[in-house]
C-alpha cells in the first residue's frame, strides 16, 4: 500500500485520487481557521509559492476535531483561507483525522508514523490539553492538534512528520532537501 492508493474528497464532493500527485513532493496538513496555528497558512503559502514549480504540492485538509476550531462548511473555510491568507494550494473537504470516522488516508499516515513531541512555549500549553483528550498521547500516532504535517517523497514514501509546534523553517528546510 502507498499514498497513491488513496482517494480523498474535493470541496465539491468529487473523489480525487492521490495517484494524480505521483512524482510530486507532498506536504499533507490538517488545518483549522480558528486556531493559534492558523497563521501558519502564511508560511505554507510562501513555501508553496517558492517550490510549486519544483514539484511541491500542499494538500490542505480542514478538520474540526480539535476544540471546534474549523466550524464552517467547506465553502466558508475556503473563502476565509483565500481571503485572509491568499492560499492557492489544493484544499479538500473537511475531514476527521482520528477515530472511527477518520478518512483512510489519515489512518494510513497515523499508523505509519509516531508522535514527535511538542516543542517550544506552545508545546507547554498543548501538552496538558492533549493529555485530557488522550492520556496515552505520547505513545501513539494519532493526530494531536491542527497543523500536523506529513512530508511525502516523490515515490510516495512518508519522509517526515511535523507536529504543529515545529518551527516552519525546519519544515521548509526538510521540504527543500526532499525536493
Tell me if the pTM is above 0.85. Answer: yes
Cα 145 off chain centre by:
10
Catalytic-role residue among 27, 35, 168, 178: 35
Q: Which of 154, 148, 168, 150 is nearest to 54 (CA)?
A: 154
pLDDT at 123: 86
Q: Say whether 81 is catalytic.
A: no
Q: Which of 166, 99, 113, 115 is nearest to 3 (CA)?
A: 113
**Digit-coded pLDDT (tens) for 118-160:** 988 888 889 999 999 899 999 999 999 999 999 999 999 999 9
3-state secondary structure the chain: CCHHHCEEEECCCCEEEHHHHCCCEEEEEEECCCCCCCCHHHHHHHHHHHHHHHCEEEEEEEECCCCCCCCCCHHHHHHHHHHHHCCCCCEECCEECCCCCECHHHHHHHHCCCCCCCCHHHHHHHHHHHHHHCCCHHHCCCCCCCCCEEEECCCCCEEEEECCCCCHHHHHHHHHHHC
The C-alpha atoms of residue 59 and residue 12 are separated, in whole angstroms, by 15
**pLDDT band at residue 13 under the 50/70/90 scheme:** very high
**Digit-coded pLDDT (tens) for 51-108:** 999 999 999 999 999 999 999 999 999 999 999 999 999 999 999 999 999 999 999 9
CATH class of 25-151: alpha beta
For residue 56, how many other CB atoms are within 10 A of its CB? Answer: 21
- Is the pLDDT at 43 greater than 90? The verdict is yes
Amino acid at each position: 500500500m502507498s499514498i497513491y492508493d488513496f482517494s480523498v474528497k474535493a470541496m465539491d464532493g468529487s473523489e480525487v485520487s492521490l495517484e494524480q500527485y505521483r512524482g510530486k513532493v507532498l506536504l499533507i496538513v490538517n488545518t483549522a481557521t480558528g486556531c493559534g496555528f492558523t497563521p501558519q497558512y502564511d508560511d505554507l503559502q510562501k513555501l508553496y509559492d517558492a517550490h510549486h514549480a519544483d514539484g511541491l504540492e500542499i494538500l490542505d485538509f480542514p478538520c474540526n476535531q480539535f476544540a471546534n476550531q474549523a466550524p464552517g462548511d467547506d465553502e466558508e473555510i475556503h473563502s476565509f483561507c483565500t481571503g485572509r491568507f491568499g492560499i492557492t494550494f489544493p484544499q479538500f473537504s473537511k475531514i476527521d483525522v482520528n477515530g472511527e470516522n477518520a478518512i483512510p488516508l489519515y489512518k494510513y499516515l497515523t499508523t505509519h508514523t509516531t508522535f514527535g513531541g511538542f516543542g517550544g512555549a506552545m508545546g507547554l500549553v498543548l501538552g496538558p490539553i492533549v493529555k485530557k483528550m488522550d492520556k496515552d498521547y505520547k505513545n501513539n500516532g494519532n493526530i494531536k492538534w491542527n497543523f500536523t504535517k506529513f512530508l511525502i517523497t516523490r515515490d510516495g514514501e512518508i519522509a517526515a512528520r511535523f507536529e504543529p509546534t515545529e518551527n516552519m523553517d525546519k519544515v521548509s528546510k526538510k521540504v527543500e532537501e526532499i525536493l
